[in-house]
């Protein structure tokens, strides 16, 4: 069997609010309520003003945000927030950002073994080993990373931008190795390189406010159509040969995506419809990552012996990396990011640990430690969010996350 290892990156999603417009966040110092001009209904609004060290509105972090508005860079607050303690709120804001930044380590360790193994095979002239790493799967993960990079760059979520950039770079390194080993067609590699270079440059420029809005809109349209077309095709291909091999799902999705983008630009959709189209790229990227553990478990179901080839340490890293993102996604009420991170933590990381345990591949102590640690971490995230906002129950935090109010 070829000496190869394929460990796709899990859903990284979605961040931190470290800096907006180049300034450090000061971790949001809400000071006093100040009147704002009239809203659409003619009533005055109250919003939290910022400290002198912050240039960013606190509203999209402090108040509930509808799930459909997760893709909006600075969604409007629905009303004043009852801060039980400003200091504790700011401290938790800072800690959730640090957790997101810390997620870079397990994600890097997760992909590094594949890069090292590919390098050894290339230096040994063992190009056949690289054929065991599917370039199409790596390209799909790369497309997901680029889409989420654009999502978080638009929201100015610095740590999440770093996480996704690391994902793009590490994935591209693997794809470059595959191209060097002739495991990926050269024309496809060149096209991929152009997309990666354009994506990194455009996201960098947009993050620092140096990009023309028209160019950014064209880029968003590109990743919207591309992501929406790829998702159903990947889902369909998972179950081949049990279903006919066909490109029909991807083709239909491509036509629908192009039509939706066209209607949005020509003013044929309602405001809610335009928001929905704008959120497609982020959601399709999240769903692509969410599908990866489903595909893995389907493979385990068909070939139970393959479970022995999974690394318990890699699954633990996947659970840790995505788990570290959960508190931040909950804190800023980003439903899309929370969904992807929670799913990857529970299904991709912990789900595979459960499989390893039932197939007697890991010890009982390892399984119990992972179980207790996961429950404690998620419980802590909801408890702290409830406490710093002065709520009586975590149900309210969950309700705001999903429904926005």
Mean of the pLDDT values across residues 1-27?
40
Collapse the DSSP code of 26 into the 3-class scheme (helix H, G, I; strand E, B; otherwise coil) and give the result.
Answer: coil
In this model, does residue 56 exceed pLDDT 80?
A: no
Name the residue with higher pLDDT: 305 or 237: 237
pTM: 0.72
Among 299, 328, 392, smallest CA distance to 84 is for 392
Name the residue with higher pLDDT: 189 or 139: 189
In this model, does residue 73 exceed pLDDT 70?
A: no
For residue 324, the 8-state DSSP code is: T
The pLDDT value recorded for residue 71 is 57
Mean of the pLDDT values across residues 91-111?
91
* Assigned token pair, 381: 């995230």
pLDDT > 70 in the chain, percent: 77
Name the residue with higher pLDDT: 241 or 245: 245
In this model, does residue 103 exceed pLDDT 50?
A: yes
The pLDDT value recorded for residue 345 is 94
pLDDT band at 6 (very low <50, low <70, confident <90, very high): very low
Q: What is the pLDDT of residues 203-238, one digit of tens each?
A: 999 999 899 999 999 999 999 998 899 889 888 988
Q: What is the pLDDT of residues 27-36, one digit of tens each?
A: 344 333 334 4
The pLDDT value recorded for residue 275 is 87
The pLDDT value recorded for residue 306 is 64
The pLDDT value recorded for residue 365 is 95
In this model, does residue 40 exceed pLDDT 90?
A: no
The pLDDT value recorded for residue 113 is 82
pLDDT band at 315 (very low <50, low <70, confident <90, very high): confident
Residue found by looking up tokens 């239909």 in the block: 252
pLDDT band at 22 (very low <50, low <70, confident <90, very high): very low
Backbone phi, psi, residue 181, to 5°: -90, 10
In this model, does residue 297 exceed pLDDT 50?
A: yes
Q: What is the pLDDT of residues 280-289, one digit of tens each?
A: 888 888 888 7
The pLDDT value recorded for residue 308 is 67
The pLDDT value recorded for residue 173 is 93
pLDDT band at 309 (very low <50, low <70, confident <90, very high): low
Quickly list DSSP for 108-176.
Answer: HHHHHHHHHHHHHHHHTT-GGGGGGS-HHHHHHHHHHHHHHHHHHHHHT-HHHHHHHHHHHHHHHHHHH
Q: What is the pLDDT of residues 318-343, one digit of tens each?
A: 899 999 999 999 999 999 999 999 99
Backbone phi, psi, residue 161, to 5°: -60, -40
In this model, does residue 77 exceed pLDDT 50?
A: no
In this model, does residue 258 exceed pLDDT 70?
A: yes
- If one counts every other C-beta atom within 10 angstroms of the C-beta of residue 246, the result is 12
Residue found by looking up tokens 């997309």 in the block: 195
pLDDT band at 70 (very low <50, low <70, confident <90, very high): low
* 87 Cα distance to chain centroid: 29
In this model, does residue 44 exceed pLDDT 80?
A: no
Quickly list DSSP for 28-91.
Answer: -----EEEEEE-TTS-EEEEEPPPTT--S-SHHHHS---GGGGGSSSPPPSS----S-HHHHHH
* Lowest-confidence region among 36-40, 112-116, 215-219, 390-394: 36-40
Question: For the chain, what is the mean pLDDT?
Answer: 79
The pLDDT value recorded for residue 288 is 83
- In angstroms, the CA 148 to CA 17 distance is 15
Mean of the pLDDT values across residues 267-271?
89
Q: Half-sphere exposure of residue 308, counting CA atoms within 13 Å on the CB side?
A: 4
């Amino acid at each position: 069997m070829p000496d190869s290892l394929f460990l796709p990156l899990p859903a990284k999603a979605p961040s931190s609010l470290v800096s907006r417009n180049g300034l450090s966040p000061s971790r949001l110092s809400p000071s006093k309520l100040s009147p704002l001009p009239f809203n659409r209904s003619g009533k005055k609004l109250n919003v939290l003003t910022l400290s002198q060290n912050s240039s960013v509105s606190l509203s999209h972090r402090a108040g509930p945000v509808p799930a459909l508005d997760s893709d909006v860079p600075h969604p409007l607050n629905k009303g004043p927030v009852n801060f039980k303690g400003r200091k504790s709120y700011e401290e938790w804001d800072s800690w959730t950002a640090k957790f997101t930044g810390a997620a870079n380590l397990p994600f890097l360790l997760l992909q590094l073994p594949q890069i090292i193994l590919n390098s050894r095979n290339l230096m040994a002239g063992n190009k056949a080993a690289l054929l065991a790493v599917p370039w199409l799967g790596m390209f799909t993960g790369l497309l997901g990373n680029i889409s989420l990079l654009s999502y978080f760059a638009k929201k100015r979520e610095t740590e999440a931008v770093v996480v996704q950039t690391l994902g793009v770079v590490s994935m591209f390194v693997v794809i470059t190795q595959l191209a060097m080993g002739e495991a990926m067609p050269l024309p496809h590699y060149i096209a991929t390189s152009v997309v990666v270079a354009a994506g990194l440059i455009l996201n960098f420029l947009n993050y620092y406010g140096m990009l023309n809005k028209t160019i950014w809109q064209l880029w968003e349209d590109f990743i919207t159509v591309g992501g929406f077309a790829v998702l159903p095709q990947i889902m369909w291909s998972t179950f081949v040969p049990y279903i006919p091999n066909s490109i029909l799902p991807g083709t239909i999705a491509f036509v629908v995506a192009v039509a939706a983008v066209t209607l949005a630009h020509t003013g044929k959709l309602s405001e809610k419809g335009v928001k929905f189209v704008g959120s497609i790229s982020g959601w399709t990227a999240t769903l692509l990552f969410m599908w990866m553990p489903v595909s893995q478990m389907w493979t385990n179901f068909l070939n139970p012996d393959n479970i022995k080839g999974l690394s318990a340490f890699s699954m633990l890293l996947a659970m840790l990396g995505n788990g570290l993102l959960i508190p931040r996604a909950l804190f800023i009420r980003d439903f899309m990011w929370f969904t992807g991170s929670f799913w990857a933590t529970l299904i991709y990381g912990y789900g595979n640990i459960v499989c390893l345990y039932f197939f007697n591949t890991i010890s009982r102590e390892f399984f119990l430690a992972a179980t207790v640690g996961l429950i404690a971490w998620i419980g802590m995230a909801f408890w702290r969010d409830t406490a710093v906002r002065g709520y009586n129950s975590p149900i309210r935090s969950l309700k705001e996350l999903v429904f926005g109010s």
